[in-house]
Amino acid sequence: MTLQQLEITNILDDITELQSNFLISQPIEKRKALGQYYTGRAVAEYMASLIDIPQEKKLTLLDAGAGSGILAACAALYCLDRGCKNLHAVLYELDNDVLPSLEQTLKIICNVFKAKKASFTYEIKCEDFVLARADKNVFNDYFDIAVINPPYFKYSVTSSPYAKSASDLYHGDPNIYASFIAVAMASIKLKGQLIAITPRSFTNGLYFKGFREYLLTNSSLNLIHIFKQRDKVFKNKESAVLQENIICRYTKGNASKSIMIRSSNCDDSIKHSEEATYPQDLIIDPSNDQRLIRIPESSEDANTLRAAESLSSTFESSGYFISTGRVVEHRSRDFITQDNNAVDRVPLYRPHNITPLLATWSGKHKKDVSFLLANGYEKYVIKNSNYVLLKRFSSKDEKRRLVATIHLSSMGAYDYIGFGNKTNYIGVTNEELDSPEAYGLAAIFNSTFMDKYFRCVSGNTQVNATDIRVMKFPSRHEVKDIGRQAKKLTSITTEEIDRIISSVLCLNHCI
């Protein structure tokens, strides 16, 4: 370690201690209410290292949601170490309690710059970054660099002051972190850089469609860093973050032709991450208006994504529909009974009934319930027919994201059937799904290939119908071929399903 590296290490030790002391002093409930999840030192140093230092004589830096200032500090020290002699930082922080720690951090950085005969100046703005709309005032197209860890929380779209706060930038109200990123992007110069750590949730799903459109139209996404363990990035047990988090680097302006993907754990190995560069069209889906951002964590995942791209159709264009089950149990308690022998009742499928390939509703499992066909039942149930059911949720530690089962109308003499809202049900548009095709659909969703493909598309433990509709998918002819073979299996295992899928779709190199 050089003398300069040792000096920076000692400085960051002091700044890290300031942050730790502050966090110890604060109630967890308060931090959760403010959406505060403070950046750890290893992550902050790594984010700073992603800065491509511009050649301007004076640089401007934005840290919105600054906390105790560790991100701004790491960014400033990185710029100084690479020759920047004049840096002005603007820091937004709403929490009055953390301002003394933030001030101390910035004074430490001032002294370091001064010792190196360089200039570091700063402004602390104790106001709400999104509601203040800095981009509309003095900071429009002002910053060279933004390095941020925005707060994370949802809010009421009818009563929150944040509702529509960034509606001139993008449509929708998905989460406060999206507004932070959008306003930060509007505040940086053309060719300026934005480096942010956020949940991965914005990369897919209907809620973030408008935000993705804004982001990918106004900037070039040129790097994504994904963490192999979703619960290790923010280490406070009391405020554990179960969202999968990613670090992204954007450059304001036209899109680049390629995107680098890095992956690592979130300790010091973050500095020695695995990396690969892919064509932009492999990462940002060009086939529809969703602009999904797909993230292959490994070369094996990238091969899966390439193979998926070679499929002839999409789920929806192959002629299939997917819908969420209609029964929201806490809103329809009067219709639900554990008396599975009751008169005028039909099975109600819950997640535990969805097991690979064949449904398991018997009425004898302790969690099995029925739906009563009492007055007003019509809006909750659907015609008893052949369907494929797909779990909507999986736990973060589950090996599979996609678990599908088959419900055949012949399983019971019912006119109707009930599906809970924690399940998705799948059929053929405008016609009956026959048994072999149902087997084919269930086999595809239970295959290793489709599970890996879905994981590239979504980091959520929730399986959204919107994502499934636009995913690449085999043709109906191929689905039926797979189904005819799967139906003949005497032992239904993942290995056997994978063998059939691989043969029909020519995917030997993927699974």
Provide the residue ranges of all domains of the chain, joining segments of one domain with +: 3-295, 320-505
Q: What is the CA radius of gyration of the chain?
A: 26
Is pTM beyond 0.85? Reply is: yes
> Residue 371 belongs to what H/E stretch?
strand 369-372
- Residue 329: phi, psi to the nearest 5? -60, -40
Q: Residue 35's pLDDT is what?
A: 61
**Look-up: residue for tokens 């004076």?**
58
Taking the C-alpha atoms of residue 205 and residue 306, their distance in angstroms, rounded to an integer, is: 21
Q: What is the DSSP string of 209-277?
A: HHHHHHHHHHEEEEEEEEESSTTSSS--GGG---S-EEEEEEEESSPPSEEEEEEE-SSGGGGG-EEEE
For the structural domain made of 3-295, what CATH number should be given? 3.40.50.150
Q: Which is nearest to 473 in space by CA: 494, 499, 501?
A: 501
Contact 53, 83 (CB under 8 A): yes
Fold of the domain built from segment(s) 320-505: Adenine-n6-DNA-methyltransferase TaqI; Chain A, domain 2 (3.90.220)
**Look-up: residue for tokens 């110890």?**
24
Reading the block at residue 118, the tokens are: 């360089």
Taking the C-alpha atoms of residue 478 and residue 423, their distance in angstroms, rounded to an integer, is: 25
Q: Label residue 255 exposed, middle or buried (CB < 10 Å: 0-12, 13-18, 19+).
A: middle
Q: Residue 467's pLDDT is what?
A: 93
Q: Residue 239's pLDDT is what?
A: 44
Taking the C-alpha atoms of residue 13 and residue 309, their distance in angstroms, rounded to an integer, is: 47
Q: Which is nearest to 176 in space by CA: 190, 192, 163?
A: 163
Q: Residue 396's pLDDT is what?
A: 59
- Residue 367: phi, psi to the nearest 5? -95, -5
Q: Residue 238's pLDDT is what?
A: 39
Reading the block at residue 441, the tokens are: 């659909």
Averaged in consecutive runs of 10 residues, what is the pLDDT profile of the chain (511 residues)? 67 84 74 70 94 90 94 96 95 93 95 95 96 85 94 90 93 93 96 96 94 96 86 47 83 91 81 91 92 94 94 94 96 95 94 87 94 96 96 78 94 93 96 95 96 92 92 96 92 90 82 52
Q: Residue 240's pLDDT is what?
A: 47
Taking the C-alpha atoms of residue 445 and residue 118, their distance in angstroms, rounded to an integer, is: 59
- Residue 213: phi, psi to the nearest 5? -60, -45
Look up residue 319 and give its amino acid.
Answer: G
Q: Residue 8's pLDDT is what?
A: 76
Contact 176, 161 (CB under 8 A): no
